[in-house]
A and B are shown apart, each in its own frame.
Chain A
Amino acid sequence: MSTWRAQLLTDTPASRNQARLGQFYRGWLQFKRNKLAVLGLLIVLLLIVVAAFAPWIATHDPYAQDLARRLLPPGAQGHWLGTDEFGRDTFSRLVYGARITLMIVVLVAAIAAPIGLLVGTAAGYLGGWVDAVLMRVTDVFLAFPSLILALAFVAALGPGIENAIIAIALTAWPPYARIARAETITIRNSDYIAVARMQGARTARILWAYIMPLCVASLVVRVTLDMAGIILTAAGLGFLGLGAQPPMAEWGAMISAGRRYVLDQWWVATIPGIAIIVVSLAFNLLGDGLRDVLDPRKS
């Protein structure tokens, strides 16, 4: 066993960081055993790499139109995946679209998860009227199907990718609040919370340092599994013309534009569709793998 591996797996870590890294490494070893989850992770990593290095990976300018070369099939004239109705290279648009997809997914998670966590843990720990008020607000948001609510927000705020992100985030947080609240209620009467109270810890500290870390695991799993849905909702909004606006290379908008040609030039709509399927599946597999590792009940 190489020395750094031995260091990470040691029974007697010598510092907090070593202990944390050791736990992380053990988690990784367990995660690795799930081959499908690793596949999911690889695809997600591929997505990140493609998004980061888009300018180098794309073969053409995604916005460059060439009407003489519209609707070319895959492989023709140097266009690996063909061209769309304006003669723009599908492959390059796919690659730049990865950036948009990633941005949507990360921003929605970054907005919705903390809101849900905060609302849920506060409601669960404080109980009483705080719980009642917060949960009724959550219920209001949950009552609407997410796409409809997102539509309503976008209609109110105006179309555009930023507004689409806000709209999706606003519909995504309620389930996280519910999950966080359920976890909080389970653990708020635990002995270690009682100990913290006896030591004089204030509510804020207990929420931040004791309760939230235990909710994070379930939340991470749920968020990852939701990413597929987020991508699809964004694609749906894009499809309806309410998300990314042309000429942005968002995958959903690409499908929408390619609708008209689906019978004869199937690749225009189908290829972005396959990309969405693959990435959604990857997030699902990743989320499943994470759940097996992070389930706090197992540790």
Chain B
Amino acid sequence: MIQVRNLNVTFGQGAQAVRAVRDVNFSVAEGESFGLVGESGSGKSTALRVLAGLNPNWTGEAAVAGVSVGQRDTRLPRLVQMVFQDPYASLHPRHTVDRALSEPLEIQGIGDVGPRVERALSDVGLGPAFRFRYPNQLSGGQRQRVAIARALMLEPKVLLLDEPTSALDVSVQAEILNLLRRLRRAHNLTMLLVSHNLAVIAHMCDRLAVMNRGAIVEEMDVATLRRQEPREAYTRQLLLASRGYDREVAANIVTYD
């Protein structure tokens, strides 16, 4: 369903050129949930944005359901959609929830707007009372639910998620993660989840790839992650550092290039 081969993304030119993504290869089967883990500067978000069609400067192959994400193909909106990190920035401040959810239908010329909007709202656990609210009348968790509902309006096959719960309170995070799992099963979605949080990836994904400085360090399935038996030293360090503060661990941290 998702196919990425020899993906390279470079920002800037000449001496200041930064290779944000370096020869990345991975593929995700239909219905699978794949995680991209890494710290800042690892290139995970850049790779995701390439698949979203938001970053045109890449070389290599990147395709969703066989359609390359390069040429602004009109089939893409119905194939792949994205949920962004900051719920406070992903909803247009002057559009009501109803407007935000009807937009994709109107753009794509899909009818039956009213009932679809209502169904989408109830699918994400928000009742009709929320339909005509503005974003500033919604909490962070509610906004993220709207963003998820919006991403599913066009019934995409693939859902891209960029740190969907990082900006949310801990207690809300669990609700959103549960919601995402439920929706994935209900719609047989293929998910590509980017996060710096290994616990979230472990909970949500079947397989994952660890990225550092633009390259994939290691690919593994979640069972291996849970058993905490990674192959690479970088991954091991990441796992140890995720477990809370420990003097020994902190003293032995090394920068990998």
Contacts and interface: CB of A to CB of B under 8 A. Distances in A.
Contacts of B96: 13, 16, 19
A213 B94 contact: yes
B154 interface: yes
A267 B159 CA distance: 74
Contacts of A192: 89-92
Given A15-B132, A23-B134, A299-B136, A199 B90 contact: no
A197 B108 contact: no
A190 B89 contact: yes
A145 to B, nearest CB: 36
A200 B153 CA distance: 13
A147 interface: no
Interface centre among B80, B104, B150 (most CB of A within 10 A): B104
Given A11-B129, A16-B96, A192-B89, A199 B84 contact: no
Interface in A1-27: 11-16, 18-19, 23
Given A15-B132, A190-B89, A200 B107 contact: yes
A295 B96 CA distance: 18
A143 interface: no
A197 to B, nearest CB: 7
Contacts of A16: 96, 98-99, 132
A16 B52 CA distance: 30
Contacts of B223: none
Nearest to A12: B129
Given A191-B84, A195-B82, A199-B77, A13 B93 contact: no
24 contacts: A11-B129, A12-B129, A13-B132, A13-B133, A14-B131, A15-B132, A18-B132, A19-B96, A191-B84, A192-B92, A194-B84, A195-B84, A198-B52, A198-B76, A198-B77, A198-B81, A199-B77, A199-B108, A200-B76, A200-B107, A201-B107, A209-B103, A214-B92, A299-B93
A211 B91 CA distance: 13
Contact of A11 (B82, B89, B93, B133): B133
B150 A195 contact: yes
Nearest to A196: B103
Q: Please list the 3 inter-chain residue pairs (A to B) with the smallest Cβ-Cβ separation, ordered nearest first.
A: A12-B129, A191-B90, A19-B132
B81 to A, nearest CB: 6
Contacts of A32: none
Contacts of B80: 198
B90 to A, nearest CB: 4
Contacts of B150: 195
A189 to B, nearest CB: 10
Interface residues of B, number: 34
B122 interface: no
A268 B137 CA distance: 55
Contacts of B86: 191
A66 B182 CA distance: 87
A195 B90 contact: yes
A210 to B, nearest CB: 6
A55 interface: no
Contacts of B89: 190-192
Given A210-B92, A299-B136, 15 more contacts: A12-B133, A14-B131, A191-B84, A191-B86, A194-B54, A195-B90, A196-B107, A198-B82, A199-B77, A199-B108, A200-B76, A205-B107, A214-B94, A299-B93, A299-B134
A158 interface: no
A296 B93 contact: yes
A250 B160 CA distance: 63
Interface of B: 52-54, 74, 76-77, 80-82, 84, 86, 89-94, 96, 98-99, 103-104, 107-108, 129-134, 136-137, 150, 154
Contacts of B76: 198, 200
Contacts of B136: 299
Contacts of A14: 131-132
A205 B93 CA distance: 17
Nearest to A199: B104
B75 to A, nearest CB: 10
Nearest to A11: B137
B90 A198 contact: no
Nearest to B91: A192
Contacts of A194: 52, 54, 82, 84
B54 A197 contact: yes
Contacts of B54: 194, 197-198
A199 B107 contact: yes
A169 B6 CA distance: 55
Nearest to B136: A299
Contacts of B53: 197-198
A213 B95 CA distance: 10
A18 B150 CA distance: 22
Nearest to B137: A11
